[in-house]
Amino acid sequence: MTPVRTEGWPQWPPPATDEQRERLLRVLDGGRWGATAGHGEDSLVARFAEDFATGVGAAHGVCTVNGTVALFLALRALGVRPGDEVIVPAYTFVATATAVVLAGAAPVIADVTDTLHLDPSSLARLAGPRTRAVVPVHLAGAPADTEALRTAAEHHGLAVVEDAAQAHGARRHGRPAGTLGDAACFSFQLSKAMTAGEGGIVVTDDRRVYERLWALHNVGRRADDGWYEHPELGWNLRMTEFQAAVLGPQLPLLEGQIDHREARAATLARVLDDVEGLSPVPEPAGTTRHTRHLALLRYEAAAFGGHPKAVFLAAMNAEGVPLDTGYRSLTREPSLAPYAAAIRPCPVAEAAEDSVVWVRQPMLMADDAAMADIAQAALVVQHAFRRRPLRR
C-alpha cells in the first residue's frame, strides 16, 4: 500500500547562503581560525557574541564550544561548586543535568507541569541548604514560567540559569528568552534553530557575571593579562571562527523561520482537531513568542485501540511521517542515577514518556499540505488500530 506521504521532509539546516560561503572561505584563507585575543578584539566570534546578545536584549555574550559546556560555564560563573545541588526539570535533554554533573554538583530532578516545563512550586519542596541554582528549560521553544521561578529562587537564594537551547527568539510576556534569568544558554548544535554543527553561547546582563564567564571560558585568563597568566582556574571552551562565520548570517533569517513554523504549528493544531486522541500539549500561559523547535503532541492510546506509543510511531513512520519518541524522564535515566540527589518520582514527566510524541523543527519548515499529511496519516493509523485493538 502507498503511504499517506511519499514526499520527503525539508532538510535542516537549510541550504547554505552565499554570505556563509564567503565568510567561511575568508576565515579559511585568512589563517586566523581561532579567536584568542582579549575582550575588545575584532573577531567573528566576538562580533557574533555581541550581535546575538543584542538580538535577545542581553548586554553581554560569551560563545562556547557547545550548549552543554555553555550550561556548565554559566553554572560555574554563578557560583555553583562541587557538592552543591542544582534543580533541573525531569522532562528535558539529558545535557541539562549532565552539565550540572560537569560542574561537580548534583542534579535535583523536579517534576514538570502539564506544559512539560519545570513546576515552580517544586522549588519549595526541593531546595535545601546546598541548593545553589535552578535551570528552567524553555522546552520546545516556549519559555518556562520564569516569574514564578524567580520569585521562588529569590526566596531560596538560588541563581536562575535559563536552558534556552531550544528557544532562540522566544519571548515570555514580550520579554526575550535570554533575559529571564541571571544567565541564559543557547545551543547551536545541528538540530537547533541556529546551528554551526556545534556551538553555544551564554548571555547575561550582569557585567560581573560576564567577566567571570569570559575568564572561565578562556583558561582563567584576564583580558589585559598575558597568555600564561591564569589568576583563576578555567578551561578552553572557546568557539572557533569557522563556527561564527556560519552563524552570523543566520541571525537575520531567524524571525522569518520562526514565523514559518508558527504558521505550520497553527495549521497542525487545526487539522489535528479531526483526530481523536492526538492533540498539542499546551504551552505555558504568558508565551508571546513560541519558536516551535518542536511541536509536542499528546498521544492517547485508548483512542488508538490501546496500542502503545512505540507501535503508533512505527505505523506513522510507515505512512511517511517520522515522528519522534522524545525524552525519557530523567528520573529513569540509569546513567544519571549515581550523580543525582535523592530521586523522587516525577509522575507527570514519567507519564509523558508513554504519551508525548514530537514533530521536529525541520518538519515544521514544510508546507501546510505536509501538516494535513500528518493528520491524515494519524487517521489512517487510527482506523487500522481500531479494527484490531490490543487485547489485554
Ligand X SMILES: *Cc1c(COP(=O)(O)O)cnc(C)c1O
Q: Which residues bind ligand X (CB under 6 A)?
A: 66-68, 92-93, 95-96, 137, 163, 165-166, 187, 189, 200
For ligand X, which is the closer residue by CB, 201 or 379?
201
For ligand X, which is the closer residue by CB, 165 or 379?
165
For ligand X, which is the closer residue by CB, 163 or 241?
163
**Minimum distance from CB of 156 to ligand X (Å)?**
23
| Interatomic CA distance for residues 165 and 213, integer angstroms | 18
Q: Which of 325, 322, 334, 327 is nearest to 366 (CA)?
A: 322
**Minimum distance from CB of 70 to ligand X (Å)?**
7
For ligand X, which is the closer residue by CB, 188 or 304?
188
Does residue 39 sit in helix, strand or coil? coil
In degrees, to the nearest 5, what angle opens at C-alpha 54 toward C-alphas 51 and 60?
Answer: 90
Torsion sign over Cα 314, 319, 322, 325: negative
For ligand X, which is the closer residue by CB, 110 or 371?
110
For ligand X, which is the closer residue by CB, 222 or 332?
332
| Interatomic CA distance for residues 43 and 209, integer angstroms | 21
**Minimum distance from CB of 53 to ligand X (Å)?**
18
Q: Which residue is nearest to ligand X (CB)?
A: 67
**Minimum distance from CB of 290 to ligand X (Å)?**
15
**Minimum distance from CB of 376 to ligand X (Å)?**
29
Q: Which of 286, 31, 292 is nearest to 147 (CA)?
A: 286
**Grid coordinates representing 307?**
496500542
| Interatomic CA distance for residues 54 and 163, integer angstroms | 18
Phi, psi torsion values for 299, nearest 5 degrees: -105, 120
**Grid coordinates representing 9?**
521532509
Residue with cell 557585567: 207
**Minimum distance from CB of 62 to ligand X (Å)?**
15
